[in-house]
Amino acid sequence: MKTSIFFIFLTLSCALDPTHLAQASGQDGQQQQQQPIKNIVVLVLENRSFDHMIGWMKKTINPSINGVTGKECNPFSTNLTNKHIQQTQESICFTDDANYVDPDPGHSFEDVEKQVFGSNPFPSMTGFVEQALSVSPNLSETVMKGFKPDNVPVFAKLVQEFAVFDRWFSSIPGPTQPNSTFRQHAKEGKLPSLSVIEPRYFDIKGYPANDDHPSHDVANGQKLVKEVYEVLRGSPQWNESLLVITYDEHGGFFDHVKTPYVNVPSPDGNTGPAPSFFKFDRLGVRVPTIMVSPWIKKGTVISSPKGPTPNSEYEHSSIPATIKKMFNLSSNFLTHRDAWAGSFEHVVSQLSSPRTDCPEVLPEAAPLRRTEPDETKGLSEFQSEVVQLAAVLNGDHFLSSFPDEMGKKMSVKEAHTYVQGAVSRFITASKEAIKLGADESAIVDMRSSLTTRTVIRN
């Protein structure tokens, strides 16, 4: 990895080894041979809702998209909700003038509960303004703004050219840049069956965060998507590839589509901690999801899935569910949730041959933030969680003061340096272990040595 950059290029080639896939037989094996996709690239960005990023594209790009009209409003208080409250001074309606966002809207489990339900026993999607007001008076208008398509030109072009899912939900109602290896493998036609690209999470001068998490500039996220697309478009594997772009969750921004909250299976029966004791039996808010492949019809809009159950939905578990089908994997589903989630293999089965008119270059995105990143800032909750994950790779989680305390005293720059070092050492150690004959599937269970880690002193 290059200095001052943190991202992970994760390849799951051992789990999706083509030699194992080739062993598939019978009718399913015949279907696999006809399946044009051999490489799936997944890029997950952070904390934006569908309406916030794509909702206004209904007006100018594709009227089939379940987007916004500007008549979608939220009251200051959900206790006042009625048919006459819209378009009055007691409510805020959705506009198209989203810009650089700071501070970060609320998106904890309790925040999302208020945003989705308001004061109702069912999802009304009317509590976004009221919840934002509890954080900051100025934030209430921020969560009710979406981007003009011209301000997210990369997404606008991809929605126009490929497929957008307008009913894809975050898996739970709460919080949750390609490196040189990706570029090289794409150029040489050596991409594995599955690649997962991590964006930059830390805002550093010269290498700004491009994960779209507020308060990061979405223009940098657009540049990341543009780069990933153009690298893949120029690869000899382009005609065998599917790029999936999605967001982990909505980040507290308004969306008008009601969140599914009944008949959603718990993945494994586990229950969350007090006071909510959440059973993981509801989905989160709708998030942007775009799919790109020369096998996708131009301007495709996909809404509800056709199965596998009458109440199945598209959500993040749809990705492993589709991988299982596309690559004809004989293993069981991971959980009850991916067994239930809608799969999208049909999206790339509508054409008899790959398109030759896909753009080679995407538009440039103009920056929305006019200042340089502040490397001295303290960490956001999410960044602290990334540090805690890095502490496990580094072996620091064995110490009594780690990982909870370390993030509290770090600046963004310090955290970036720490995380980058931890990931770099883990990748190096993993490669050395493989050379020595270690089982690739056991690499994730490797433990760092406390005698070789870099010490961070509080």
> What is the domain partition of the chain in residue ranges?
1-370, 381-445
pLDDT for 401: 59
Residues of the chain above pLDDT 90, percent: 66
Cβ-contact 200, 210 below 8 angstroms: yes
Cβ-contact 14, 441 below 8 angstroms: yes
Report long-range pairs for 124-128 (Cβ below 8 Å, ≥24 apart).
124/78, 124/81, 124/258, 125/74, 125/254, 125/255, 125/256, 125/257, 125/258, 125/259, 126/74, 126/75, 126/78, 126/81, 127/74, 127/78, 128/74, 128/252, 128/253, 128/254
Averaged pLDDT of the chain: 86
pLDDT at 341 over 70: yes
Q: pLDDT (tens digit, 9 = 90+) per residue, 125-171?
A: 999 999 999 988 889 999 999 999 999 999 999 999 999 999 999 99
pLDDT at 64 over 90: yes
Cα(175)–Cα(284) distance, rounded to whole angstroms? 10
Instruction: Tell me how crowded residue 196 is: count the other CB atoms within 10 A of its CB.
Output: 16
What type of residue is 117? F
Query: What region, left, alpha or beta, does residue 118 occupy, with left being phi > 0 and alpha being psi -120 to 50 degrees?
Result: left
Number of H helices, E strands in the chain: 14, 11
Closest CA to 39 of 177, 226, 195, 166: 195
Cβ-contact 295, 349 below 8 angstroms: yes
pLDDT at 31 over 80: no
Q: Which CATH number fits domain 1-370: 3.40.720.10, 3.40.50.10090, 3.40.50.300, 3.30.1490.100?
A: 3.40.720.10
Instruction: Tell me how crowded residue 326 is: count the other CB atoms within 10 A of its CB.
Output: 23
Cα(256)–Cα(66) distance, rounded to whole angstroms? 9
Six-digit token string for 182: 């990706």
pLDDT at 86 over 60: no
pLDDT for 448: 59
Residue 399 — very low, low, confident or very high, per pLDDT cuts 50/70/90?
Answer: low
* DSSP of 376-413: TSBPPHHHHHHHHHHHHHHTGGGSTTTTTTGGGG-BHH
pLDDT for 1: 32
pLDDT at 179 over 70: no
Highest mean pLDDT among 30-44, 303-317, 406-420, 426-440: 303-317
pLDDT for 89: 61
Collapsed DSSP state (helix, strand, coil) of residue 271:
coil
3-state secondary structure string, 420-440?
Answer: HHHHHHHHHHHHHHHHCCCCH
pLDDT at 29 over 70: no
- The predicted model scores a pTM of 0.87
What average pLDDT score do residues 391-403 get?
A: 70
Collapsed DSSP state (helix, strand, coil) of residue 53:
helix
pLDDT for 311: 96
Q: Please compute, for residue 27, the number of CA atoms within 13 A of its CA located in the half-sphere on the CB side.
A: 0
